[in-house]
Chains A and B, each alone.
Chain A
């Protein structure tokens, strides 16, 4: 509401004397609301995407703790990856296949699927997390850890 009056004050010159003042104000109010909501949705989306990145680091820590730090270097992981991709929900599978298997850019994937780029990114990151989680479980079950033994975590660099 405060925002509406602030805007009304700022855009006073757009009000035509004699026209419906209430309508003019409600238009301003609606625009303020829509813009606020857009801004909020955008920042939530950005936050979600950043949380997916943090999740990738956490998953790495889990892999290291389970002794499968090098699981993605293994060439025999291919079939498990294909299977994990196949079992994703279609909206996530399509995005990850196009972007990460076929190598299309975000823009191309967005264009191909007819969804906004932000949607491509959030689906892609979520798909990656789901894949990493199922591949971690697979690597542990398949006994990838015994081949190498548990990894010791690198000591943080203290020169910084």
Chain B
């Protein structure tokens, strides 16, 4: 069983990891840990299911399109390249 402190260090990176903003070496260490720790993996799965559910909720109710449009407009005006 992995050390408790490793679990805590990994779980502390849960959101940054799921958002894809951790650097390569940290990501590799997290992946390696998750492969052998079912408990941590289950926390990550739960949080990921949450993010997917929030993302899906966009189609349930008309999203705040005005906000989105304002943002797209503002970003394009600044020459920002859009990912979404």
Interface residues of A (CB under 8 A from B): 49-54, 56-57, 60, 63, 69-70, 72-73, 75, 77-79, 81-82, 85, 94, 96-98, 100-106, 108, 111-112, 121, 124-125, 128, 131-132, 135, 153-160
A sample of 4 more A-B contacts (CB under 8 A), given A60-B46, A100-B55, A125-B15, is: A82-B60, A101-B58, A106-B21, A112-B74
Q: Contacts A100-B55, A104-B71 known; A53 to B60 CB distance under 8 Å? A: no
CB-based contact A56/B14 at 8 Å = yes
Q: Are B15 and A156 in contact (CB under 8 A)?
A: no
* Given A128-B50, A154-B39: A82 touches B57 (CB 8 Å cut-off): yes
Query: A47 → chain B, closest Cβ, in Å?
Result: 9
- CB 8 Å contact bits of B1-21 with A (1 = contact, 0 = none): 110000010011111100101
